[in-house]
C-alpha cells in the first residue's frame, strides 16, 4: 500500500513512517504543513492518505480541508483522518462528502498498532473506520430521529457497523450468532428507511447516510 502522511508533530510523523514501512507499506510522501498536503496527494495519488486534522500554519482544520479538496479531484481516495480530540463537527463534515473509504481516529488509537493498521486497511479497501469515541459522540447527539426507535442491541450493532466491523466481528463482540447480527442489521436498515441488505457497499452507505446528518453535529 502506498501512503501519504500529513502530520506536523515530527515524532509522530516519523513514528508513522517507521510503522508503515516496517509492515511492508510504502510511504510515498510526507507533509508537515497544510499547504503541502494537496500537492503531495495529487502528485502521488496514494492508495490511502493519513492526515492530521490540525496542521500549520493556523492549526485549525487544514488537514480536513486538504482531505475534502483531494476527494474532489480524486473521489475514490481513501482518507484516514487523525485528531487529538473528539471533534464531532469535523467528523460529520468529512462524512458528509459521501463515498467510501473514510476514517476518523483519535491519535491515541495510533499507539494501539494492530487497531490502527486494521483501520487503515479497512479504509484503503473502501470501508469505514470511525473511532468508538467519535461514534458515541455522533450517535448520542442525534435527537428526534429513527435512532429513537432502535433497541439497545440494535444501537450496539449500528455503532460497531459504524466503526467498520463485519458481521463476524460484531457477533464475537456481542457474543451472539452471525444470524442474529444479520437480523439486527436488517431491522436497523428498515428503521432508518434503507433497504435491508448486507452488501458491503450498502453497509457503508447506510452508516454514512446516517452519521452525516447535520443534526449529528449537535
Task: Label each residue of the chain as H, E or C.
Answer: CEEEEECCCHHHHHHHHHHHHHCCCEEEEEECCHHHHHHHHHHHCCCEEEEECCCCCCCCCHHHHHHHHHHHHCCCCCEEEEECCCCHHHHHHHHCCCCCCEEEEEHHHHHCHHHHHHHHHHHHCCCEEECHHHHHHHHHCCCCCHHHHCCHHHHHHHHHHHHCCCHHHHHHHHCCCHHHHHHHHHHHHHHCCCCCCCCHHHHHHHHHHHHCCHHHHC
Same domain, 194 and 124: no
68 and 116 share one domain: yes
What pLDDT was estimated at residue 65? Answer: 86
For residues 111 and 166, membership in a common domain is answered with no
Residues of the chain with pLDDT under 70: 86-99, 137-146, 194-218
Same domain, yes or no: 13 and 52: yes
pLDDT tens-digit map of 18-53: 999 999 999 999 999 999 999 999 999 999 999 998
Q: What is the pLDDT of residue 149?
A: 80
Model confidence pLDDT, tens digit, residues 175-203: 999 999 999 988 887 877 765 554 555 56
Res 60: pLDDT: 84
pLDDT of residue 88: 62
Which pLDDT score is estimated for 42?
A: 93
Q: Tell me, yes or no, whether 70 and 41 share the same domain.
A: yes
What's the CATH code of the domain at 188?
1.10.10.10
Owning domain of residue 184: 142-217
Tally of domains in the chain: 2
Residue 132 sits in the same domain as residue 165: no
Amino acid at each position: 500500500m502506498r501512503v501519504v502522511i500529513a502530520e506536523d508533530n515530527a515524532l509522530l510523523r516519523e513514528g508513522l513512517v517507521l510503522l508503515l514501512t516496517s509492515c511492508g507499506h510504502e510511504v510515498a510522501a510526507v507533509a508537515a504543513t497544510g499547504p503541502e498536503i494537496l500537492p503531495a496527494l495529487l502528485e502521488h495519488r496514494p492508495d490511502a492518505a493519513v492526515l492530521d486534522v490540525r496542521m500549520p500554519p493556523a492549526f485549525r482544520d487544514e488537514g480536513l480541508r486538504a482531505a475534502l479538496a483531494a476527494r474532489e479531484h480524486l473521489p475514490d481516495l481513501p482518507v484516514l483522518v487523525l485528531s487529538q480530540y473528539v471533534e464531532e463537527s469535523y467528523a460529520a463534515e468529512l462524512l458528509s462528502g459521501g463515498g467510501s473509504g473514510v476514517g476518523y481516529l483519535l491519535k491515541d488509537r495510533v499507539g494501539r498498532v494492530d487497531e490502527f493498521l486494521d483501520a487503515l486497511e479497512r479504509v484503503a479497501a473502501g470501508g469505514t473506520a470511525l473511532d468508538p469515541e467519535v461514534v458515541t459522540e455522533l450517535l448520542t447527539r442525534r435527537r428526534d430521529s429513527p435512532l429513537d426507535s432502535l433497541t439497545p442491541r440494535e444501537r450496539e450493532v449500528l455503532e460497531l457497523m459504524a466503526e467498520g466491523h463485519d458481521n463476524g466481528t460484531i457477533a464475537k463482540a456481542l457474543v451472539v450468532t452471525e444470524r442474529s447480527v444479520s437480523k439486527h442489521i436488517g431491522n436497523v436498515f428498515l428503521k432508518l428507511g434503507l433497504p435491508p441488505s448486507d452488501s458491503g457497499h450498502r453497509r457503508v452507505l447506510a452508516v454514512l447516510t446516517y452519521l452525516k446528518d447535520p443534526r449529528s453535529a449537535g
